[in-house]
Chain A
Amino acid sequence: MNPLTSHFFSHSLEFLQQQYSAFFEQPIIQVFLQNPEHMKILTETLDSPSSHNICHLNETFKIFYYRAKVYKYMCSLIYFFSVDFDKRVRKQRERYRMVLDATPSDAVGMIDRVGNYDVQLEKMGETNDLSSHISDEEMIKALEKLTAKQNLVLTMVFSYGLSNKEIAAYFHESPQNISSIRKQALMKLRKHYMDEVYNRKEKSHCG
């Protein structure tokens, strides 16, 4: 056994917490001891510092520490991977824009079809506002309650995938304003939906 640590196990918990306060303030130790089971193992080990008890404490702590490290690793992995992924997708889009007038060897260029009247396409273009994408009746009612501008902003966000900044440039307003309009519109929708749909359902369940 390590002479440094053998000294540690020969004292009571209260004494240790005073003597080694910096050690007990370590975040990993604090969280470790928050679990009552771990606390019990530690006090048992301090009561009778047999090699079996110390070994048990060591193993429990090792597993705990390992888990904590894995979690930390995964969390950073998820975060940095998502940022990287976004950069990669953006770059891809930037590089391979949709080209309308290039002619694929065997077909007519896309640009020839743009000016043509296509019933199907025309229908879609006509009604690209949000209510045409929604089949839920209550939601359509809720959308009708919005002001024209709120509706337009939501359409731009969800149908065309524009960012706050782009919409702000269109209206000559600040992105913060667009953000608040969007937030308010969503809140209105949510409120309407909660009031009409959920409350009614609850009532009908209660009889």
Chain B
Amino acid sequence: MDKKLSKEELVDLIDSLNPKIKKSLKNTNYQDRNDLEQEIKLKIIESYEKIAAIEAPNFEEFLAQFLTKQK
């Protein structure tokens, strides 16, 4: 399995985040909600590069980080 997100997975991810998006629509007037929904999805797709650049530590790195922080 590839660590980085593929573009297909990004679309799946947007689908799975749909309830969250719907909830955030309440932040605006109901006349603007469809616009907002579209813009959010666009924004997520635009931020693909940024998402792909997120770095995560592996198990050992995380453990080592945690242990050094505790000392």
Contacts and interface: CB of A to CB of B under 8 A. Distances in A.
Interface of A: 1-2, 4-5, 8, 22-23, 26, 28, 54, 57-63, 65-66, 68-71, 73-75, 77-79, 81-83, 85-86, 89, 161
Interface residues of B, number: 38
Contact of B59 (A62, A68, A83, A85): A62
Contact of A62 (B13, B24, B36, B56): B56
Contacts of A63: 1, 3, 56
Nearest to A69: B54
Contacts, number: 103
A78 B54 contact: no
Secondary structure dominating the interface of A: helix
Contact of B27 (A65, A66, A83): A83
A2 B27 contact: no
A161 B30 contact: yes
A77 B56 CA distance: 19
A118 B58 CA distance: 71
B67 A4 contact: yes
A82 B36 contact: yes
5 contacts: A1-B60, A4-B67, A70-B13, A82-B24, A85-B40
A61 B59 CA distance: 6
A77 B63 contact: no
